Amino acid sequence: MKFIKFSFFAVLVMSLALFTGCGDDDEPEVSPFVGNYVITKATVNAVDPLINTNEFGPVPIPPNSDITALIQESLLSQVNCDAANKSWVELRDDKSMYMSCERANELNAGTWDEVSATELRLNMNSTAIPTSPTGIVLNVTDIVIAGANMQGNTQVPLPKEMVAAMLAQMNLTLSEDNPDNFMLQFSITFVKQ
């Protein structure tokens, strides 16, 4: 009789251990960066070196100048979409990055890494950035997430030809003594869809 009571007690303990053990399975942690984003704002922090024009010499670009359209066009040029607010940057939980027009015509744009809670690395391939044979890496730092908004700072190289085209829109010409590339530092805001 003692053996039956002990066996019953042992089975009961094992059952409880099994059921409580099943509840302890850890859910895989999903990065807060995973999601679909639209670039809604980009403003200049600095351009290095100063841009030299034939008309005025060095021309500083004032901090906080709005360059949203330029950044949307540069980074999302391969997305066939009728409006920038429909062009998504998709950061997927498998660390892949896609660009699309609200999930239509998805384009494999590279990969992404969560460097820290305040830094994100976007490894954009040459499919996403065809002007760069090796693609570009955008490190977005000092990230602050507030609701659906994610704001941070980054920098991209601007080729001399792109700067010349921008100046031409202002009836200015780029002098020949400029470097081949300028480093554009800017803040960028993404809104999660």
Q: Mean per-residue pLDDT for 133-147?
A: 94
Domains located in the chain, CATH noted: 35-192 (2.40.128)
What does the block give as tokens for 93?
A: 């939980």
Q: Mean per-residue pLDDT for 22-43?
A: 83
Q: What is the pTM of this model?
A: 0.78
Per-residue pLDDT band at 25 (split at 50, 70, 90): low
Q: Is the pLDDT of residue 9 over 80?
A: no
User: How many other β-carbons are positioned within 10 Å of the β-carbon of residue 51?
Assistant: 23
Q: Mean per-residue pLDDT for 178-183?
A: 93
In whole angstroms, what separates CA 78 from the centre of its chain?
15
Nearest by Cα to 174 from 51, 65, 50 = 51
Per-residue pLDDT band at 30 (split at 50, 70, 90): confident
**What DSSP designation does 13 have?**
H
Q: Is the pLDDT of residue 32 over 80?
A: yes
Q: Assign 141 to helix, strand or coil.
A: strand
Q: What is the per-residue pLDDT across 81-123, written as a single tens digit (0 to 9) for each?
A: 888 889 999 999 999 999 999 999 899 999 999 999 999 999 9
pLDDT at 2: 53
Q: Is the pLDDT of residue 62 over 80?
A: yes
